[in-house]
Structure 1
């Protein structure tokens, strides 16, 4: 609900001289902003998309520190700049035991497969489309209990591994997974090594969502999806100890905390 309120406030604002943003500048945040159309927006010197309605969006990675510098440049090269300090977060530790050893320490052949799959995922998440589906806000993809949180350092079979950069919903196998917003399918794969059955939806301006460990995939690549449409079913495929949905949000390669944008 808070995310929708932020969007409402942005659209109700009347800009005169400077851009506006709504949302806390914290690790894992997705920030929506508004500026007069026709200007150029830069985030830490990286030019980002500004819609014809003057909307822009950017994300803050889970481990990003320092400042976010936003610059708006008009047609006369006049620059308006604001600097925001990124709020650091404390993340939990999550221990998971009972995984097959090859899922914790893959062999060389498996590592080559994983690299190819990771490249496919990365390419799908780097798409910078003109869609503005993210403006509708995001509903929960399923109603399950959250069993794994964003940013937690994972200890797998007693071995430290990469942090968990999404949230897990515990749910029975076969539970329907619904799209939290309109989207365009950029990846639909049945059997990735770590993520199992996987779907990625593009919501525009670099914002994407990923759904992993699915038992069934009910959409195809390059298909337009409506908010609330069933896209797959919960499973335990890939690196999983039981049925659950891994749900992740990206702004390009920045990992966003889904709990900060989901409508409660």
Structure 2
């Protein structure tokens, strides 16, 4: 009898668990953030890039605006089992606007701005080198500011027939001085009021490199190294940098991929104005 029980136990251990060993939640699309949960101790890679996996097996991954139609996720479980998943990444349509007759000085920065641009690029590059240990990206994101949505992720303008950089964020119209709150908890990795393009800029790492970018701020109330909780005021709306007027620009990136924060926060509260679409 004992021999039969031992044999049955060996057979059960030789097959994969009946329960789902890997869970993926989020938008499997261009600009989407996906949260994964694997067995603790598992090693996970996306298209050959090793991902950060915390002690609970939680990890993040994202897909850039121009990501192709597929990706490959590989998992090595603690007992040596392996799994490969082919991911289908949905393509999105982007708003394209063509504007002709724009004076060149408004399209290309003047030569005397190069030093300021280089300074900002260096600061942003340094800030992106580290990834906070945490999984605050699993919180339900909230809007940093409420108001009418005036710009959406992925849109792109052509000035005088030349493509400009796509819009990597969502814009919310609001008055100068309107408080901005942290959409989720995280570690401040950059806080600077003097960026050429972004003006007042804050990077807030929500863990594993999932980072909020808040731009054009009139005031910054945090500094690099601060930990802020969701809902805490981090500064105020402004129109600093290359902005045509006061508004919130909320961007997000993960390990080089620009993500769309709008789906994470859900519909704009009714008192915030009507949300736009892509």
- Residue equivalent to 1:127: 130
- Residue equivalent to 1:6: none
- Residue equivalent to 2:188: 185
Q: Which runs of 5+ in 1 are unaligned?
A: 1-13
Q: What count of residue pairs does the alignment treat as equivalent?
A: 251
Distance 1:184 1:16 in 2: 35
Counterpart check, 1:57 vs 2:60 = yes
- Residue equivalent to 1:11: none
Distance 1:194 1:178 in 2: 22
After TM superposition, the score normalised by the length of structure 1 is: 0.87
Structure 1 residue corresponding to 2:35, chosen from 10, 32, 42 = 32
Distance 2:105 2:18 in 1: 55
- Residue equivalent to 1:42: 45
Contact 2:132 2:187 in 1 (8 A): no
Q: Which runs of 5+ in 2 are unaligned?
A: 1-16, 268-278
After TM superposition, the score normalised by the length of structure 2 is: 0.83
Residue 132 of structure 1, CA deviation: 1.4
- Residue equivalent to 2:148: 145
Matches within 5 A, 1:146-185: 146-155=149-158, 160-185=163-188
Matches within 5 A, 1:231-242: 231-242=234-245
Q: CA RMSD in A?
A: 2.3
Residue 103 of structure 1, CA deviation: 5.2
SS of 2:94's equivalent in the other structure is coil
Distance 1:45 1:158 in 2: 37
- Residue equivalent to 2:121: 118
**Greater shift after overlay, 246-255 or 148-157?**
148-157
Counterpart check, 1:104 vs 2:107 = yes
Counterpart check, 1:212 vs 2:242 = no
SS of 1:115's equivalent in the other structure is helix
Partner deviation per Cα, 1:104-132 (whole Å, 9 max, x = no partner):
31133423421331232233234222111
Contact 1:138 1:262 in 2 (8 A): yes
Structure 2 residue corresponding to 1:201, chosen from 201, 204, 207 = 204
- Residue equivalent to 2:264: 261
Contact 1:211 1:246 in 2 (8 A): yes
Residue 156 of structure 1, CA deviation: 5.1
Higher relative contact order (CA 8 A, sep 6+): 1
Structure possessing the higher radius of gyration over alpha carbons: 2
Residue 184 of structure 1, CA deviation: 1.1
Contact 2:136 2:206 in 1 (8 A): yes
Distance 2:201 2:58 in 1: 30
SS of 2:214's equivalent in the other structure is strand
Contact 2:194 2:200 in 1 (8 A): yes
